[in-house]
Chains A and B, each alone.
Chain A
Amino acid sequence: MTVLSDAWAYLTTAANWTGEGGMLQLLVEQLLLTFTALGLAMLIGLPIALWLGHLGRGSLLAINVSNVGRAVPTFALLAILVVADWPGTREFGPYGRAGLATIIALTLFALPPIITNANVAVREVSPAARSAADGMGMTGWQKFRRVELPLSASLVLLGVRLALVQVWATATIAALVAGPGLGRVITDGFYRTNYGKGIAGAVVVAAVALVLEAAAALAQRVLDPVPDQGSSRSSKPRRGMSAVAPTVVAETDAVGP
């Protein structure tokens, strides 16, 4: 149990937080990586998934993307990218060593939850609402923008939230291939049998993960344009409009920590 007091000592020593390679710098680096990759994945994944959903297609894509994302270990992909000639371990702007390889891996692993949830969300908008929109003479774009998007927003946002958790976890694993981020405190600690340090790093990584998840949950509630739907979902999980099925898909599709 001395490792616990070692960990506490590491956490409460100011010098471990500040300066070059300190935990604060690594934390900022990992947050930067996380949000860059999440933004890229949204830019790539959302338009495709939403548009296919609007056309009523994409179920095969959604299933396959999440299956592949689950079966391929994040660690293996990171390792392959780092050992390859390109992108390799080169420094990449503010993202540190192996920054490019890490961003590519993070973006790829953020795609499945985003694509699956967005696609399912739009496809599952009730046919009655669609017919009503058609009956009102809305064009395809209007129907998408004013009916399908608001009705599917809460699930789309849930997908982004799951992707955020996934990306943070993958960014931590980047340290296993000598990549950037806070995971390095963990790997350094374990490789040099300084377990207190390793555990201290794990505590920080876990705490930030929980804070990010809580913030994302809050953001999801604030951003949801149809909040009534959201609250009825949380208080009474089984409800019409097949909200349950996609939620199951969504929750279990988080590709893994």
Chain B
Amino acid sequence: MTLLVAAASAGAAEDPSCYSRLTNEWFCWQYVVDRQDQLEAATVEHLQITVAAVLLGVLIAFPLALVARGVPRLETAILGTSTMLYTIPSLALFPLLVPFTGLSATTVVIGLALYALTILVRSMLEGLRAVPAEVRESASGLGYGPTRRLLRVELPLALPVLMAGLRVATVSTVALTTVGTIVSYGGLGNLISDGVLTNFRAELMTASVLCVVLAVLLDLVIVGTQWLLTPWTRGGVAAR
């Protein structure tokens, strides 16, 4: 008798929860509260991998874009190779890196950086090309050397196109990070994977929603940075 009561009260205690052996709801705040630590850890890992990958992508893409611009014959080779890499599915690219970097976050970061690279090199080339020739000539006429001209004149003018590329690269990197779960470093992707394995809807949905939220937030951060970095475009709009 006591056993039955205990069982009943235990059942009652679990009742308000929307995830149990009996209920398996998609949206469940109780889950978010109970597993807050786990969710935070996964989100932080996701963010770290994404940011590291995009930064690495920028670091590699920038010199490549400059080389491609300076040596037209290399442009085709650089764009061709990066586009070829982009063709390889992420679930295949990560395993192909494993013999060199092992089952580590590095594998995911390098793989994602290679994808970001393709988008970034293209947008950097487009951005630099969009700088009017007259502007470049005026800068040279004012005594700007190639490096100073690049840093002070061309890059600022190319910034809107560069940032557009950065936004695309960042948002798609956030989404692709989930696939890193194949080597156990997928951030929120690990939770999605676990959600499928254990048929746990709340976990799966919460992680998916967090992914999209993360992508939108990072996108907003980039837009905000661009707004701060290009005061002249704001003035133009206000004057009009």
Contact = CB atoms under 8 A, between A and B. Distances in A.
Interface residues of B, number: 49
Range, interface on chain A: 35 or more
B99 interface: yes
A172 B211 CA distance: 20
B178 A71 contact: no
Contacts of B148: none
Interface of A: 1, 3-4, 67, 70-77, 79-80, 82-83, 165, 168-170, 172-173, 175-178, 183, 186-187, 189-190, 195, 198-199, 201-203, 205-206, 209-210, 213, 238, 244, 248, 251-257
B119 A190 contact: no
Interface of B: 83-84, 86-96, 98-99, 115, 119, 122-123, 126, 129, 165, 168, 171-172, 174-176, 178-179, 181-183, 189, 192-193, 195-196, 199, 201, 204-205, 207-208, 211-212, 215-216, 219
B50 to A, nearest CB: 12
A165 to B, nearest CB: 5
A37 B188 CA distance: 27
A108 to B, nearest CB: 13
B96 A72 contact: no
Contacts of B88: 205-206, 209-210, 257
Contact of A75 (B99, B119, B178): B178
Contacts of A176: 91, 179, 181-182, 193, 196
B89 A172 contact: yes
Nearest to B90: A257
B91 A71 contact: no
Given A80-B205, A244-B126, A252-B168, 18 more contacts: A1-B99, A3-B98, A72-B208, A73-B174, A73-B189, A75-B189, A75-B192, A83-B201, A173-B179, A176-B182, A190-B182, A199-B99, A202-B96, A203-B92, A206-B96, A253-B168, A256-B90, A257-B89
A75 B165 CA distance: 23
A144 B182 CA distance: 47
A176 B123 CA distance: 32
Contacts of A189: 95
A146 to B, nearest CB: 32
Nearest to B96: A202
